[in-house]
Amino acid sequence: MKTLISFYTLRLPIYFVYMLQQVEYNPTKFLDWIERLIKHNRKISSVRHRKSLVPTTKAKSLVYSSYLLLIVLLSLVFLLNFKFSVWLIVDYFVILLALPFFLIIELSLVTFFAKLFIVNPKESKLVNLSRDIFLKHTAIKIAVVGSYGKTTMKELLSTILKEGLSVASTPGNMNTSLSHARFAKGLSGEEEILIVEFGEGEPGDISSMARIFKPDFVVLTGLAPNHLDSYPSLDSLAKDILSVYEFADKDSVFVTAESQLLQPYLTKGNLKYSVKSVLGWKISNIIVSVTNTKFNMKKGNKEIQVTTGLLGRHQVAPVAFASALAEQLGLSRKQIESGCSIVQPYEHRMQSRYIHGAWIIDDTYNGNIEGMQAGLMLLSELDMKRKWYVTPGLVDQGSEADNVHTELGKSIALASPDIVVLMENSARPTIEKSLKDCGFSGELRIESNPLEFYTNIEHVIVAGDLMLMQNDWTDNYN
C-alpha cells in the first residue's frame, strides 16, 4: 500500500523514466522492478537513490510525453463534462487514481514498440555490417568468453600483445553484438590482433556473437551462476557459453582449470590453463601482496619472470596464459615482462588504494561467487592489523540465490575478517545466518544506507586496516 500511495507525486514520470533508463529501456525489466517495489512495500522515491536521471534526448522525450499524457487525460475529462457537476469531480477522482497505471502502460508500450520497429531494425543493420567487416579482416581474432574475468583477460591480452603487435580490443566491458558492431566500424583494417569480449545476457547470445565474429582463438574464463534471471538454469548458461566450440577448432579454445563449476561440462582433451601450468609452461614462486603479484614461468630453457599489478593468487593463471599466448604469437621475453609490468586492475576489479595508512581493495564490480571467494582468499592471505569485509551480496542469482549466499557466508567465515559489513537487502538474512552457522566470531555490522557508508569510508578505517569491498547493487535491485 505504501508503494501505491507514493505513486501520487508530480515527479512520478521522472522516477519511471529513471527506472527505464537503468534497465536500458527494457519494458519487461521495468515492470519487474515495479513488481518488486510493490512486493517489498518501498516508496517510488527510493528507486533514485544511487544515481539520477541522465537527461538524454530519449529520456527527456519520455518524461515530456508522460507529462503530456497526464495533461491530455485531465483535459479530456473536463471536455467530456461540459459543466461543473458531481460527475466531473467523480471522473477526476477516478482518473487521478488511475494516472500512475496509465503512465506504466504508456511507457511500457512506447519502449516496446520503439524497440520493435525502430531500435531493432537499426541495430540489426549495424550488426550485419559488422559480420562483413570481421569476415574480411585479416587479423587474428580472439574471443574472450565466461561468467567472470572477461574484461580483465581482454585487457591482459591487449596490454601484453601491444608490446609487439598492432592490437584493437572492445572498450571497457562492452560485450554485446551491438557494441561489437560499433567496434567493427572503427577498425582501420591494418590491425594484426582483434580481441572481443562476449557477454552472456540470454540463451543464444554467445553462439550469435561467435557466428558473426568467427574467432581464431577462444579464451574461456570460468562459469558462475550469473544472469539466472534470464537463463532457466546453470546448465542452460553453461551450454550457451560452451557453444563457442561450434565456431572454433578445439585446439584453439583455451579453458581455465580453476573454475570448479565449469569442469563437469568439459570433455577430455580440452586445453586448460591453471595456476600450476599453461601451454607447457610451469609456474612457481608465487608471491602476493596488496600492491602486486609475482611469479616465475619456465618451459625448457625459457624463463619469464612476471610482476603484475593484478592482485591475488587467482590472477596468476590468467596472466600466465596471456604471457604464454603472447610468446606463441612471437613476442620476446622482454616484451612479455614489460607488458605484464604495466598491467593494472581494471576499474572496480580488485583495485587497491592507500588512504590514511590503510588499504582499500575495491572489487565492487565483482558479480559472481567464484570471484568473491578468490577475493576472500586474498584477504585471508594478507597480513594486516585489522581486516574488513564489505558486501551487499549478489544479484541475478535466480533460483540459486539462497545457495549462493549460504556459500558466500561460509567463505566469509573461513576468511575470518575482523569486521563484516552487510548491506540491508534481500540477501542479508541468508548471508548473516550462514555466518553464524559457520561460527563467525568477528564483529557484524548491518548498513541500511550503502551510499552513506561508502561516502564516509575514510572516517571509518584507521591506519593498519585492510578493507575488501565486493559487488554492488544498483538501484533496480534495491
pLDDT digits (tens, 9 = 90+) for 191-203: 999 999 999 888 9
In DSSP terms, 273 is beta-bridged to 256, 278
Residue with more model confidence, 15 or 80: 15
Q: Give the pLDDT band (50/70/90) at residue 477.
A: very low
* Residue pair 297/282 in contact by the 8 Å Cβ criterion: yes
Collapse the DSSP code of 200 into the 3-class scheme (helix H, G, I; strand E, B; otherwise coil) and give the result: coil
pLDDT over 90 at 24, yes or no: no
Which range of 77-81, 350-354, 473-477 scores highest in mean pLDDT? It is: 350-354
Which candidate, 455, 369, 374, 453, places its Cα nearest to that of 419? 453
Collapse the DSSP code of 422 into the 3-class scheme (helix H, G, I; strand E, B; otherwise coil) and give the result: strand
The structure's pTM equals: 0.82
User: Is residue 75 exposed (0-12), middle (13-18) or buried (19+ Cβ within 10 Å)?
Assistant: exposed
CA distance 318 to 224: 17
pLDDT over 70 at 86, yes or no: no
Residues 6+ apart with CB under 8 A from 193: 139, 140, 142, 161, 165, 166, 167, 168, 329
CA distance 315 to 349: 11
Q: Where are the alpha helices (DSSP H) in 192-277?
A: 205-213, 234-241
Residues 6+ apart with CB under 8 A from 445: 419, 420, 421, 422
Give the DSSP letter of residue 118: I
pLDDT over 60 at 476, yes or no: no
CA distance 315 to 313: 5
pLDDT over 70 at 205, yes or no: yes
